[in-house]
Amino acid sequence: MLTSVDVDDLRHALGGVVLEAAYLERVLRAAFSALVGSKYAAVVDGRLMAAALIEDCEQITRYHTGITEPAKDTLLTALRACRQANKERNRVIHDTWVRQLADQVADAADELRAAMTAALGTGWAHVEEQLRRELGHDVRTDPGD
């Protein structure tokens, strides 16, 4: 039930995931170019998704002759962490529970709108707007305002 979910908190959290995922992709693109050793790698990495970037970075790391074995191990460990984080990001953003929650929120709003229209007629939604116009600003709920 939605009573345990604050939709604004959920939106904020999802937005944070999207922002951090964009940061991860920027770092992955830079790592890919550095591992390839060419500024022209950016021509290719721009069309790769995070999962492909991670996989390619892992493969290049394994064969890279200019990186020591201990450094390769550290890099591969970091890339595995990126793979896991990207997997979780995909689950959070794309799994059905998010869509189901969004649908549930929209359905609840639609149901309330229909019930209000049935109970009070089509003008019910304009009542709050009337007060806003009279006050010249939004109605504040903080007691200090």
Q: Give pLDDT, residue 3.
A: 47
Q: Are 76 and 61 in contact (CB under 8 A)?
A: yes
The rounded average pLDDT for each run of 10 residues, N- to C-terminus, in the chain (145 residues) is 62 81 91 90 88 95 93 93 91 72 69 78 74 72 57
What would the two tokens of residue 136 be? 């010249």
What the block records as the tokens of 6 is 């604050």
Looking at residue 33, its amino acid is: S
Residue 101 to residues 4, 50, 98, 114, 140: CA-CA distances in angstroms? 12, 26, 5, 20, 28
d(CA 124, CA 92): 37
Q: Which amino acid is at 111?
A: E
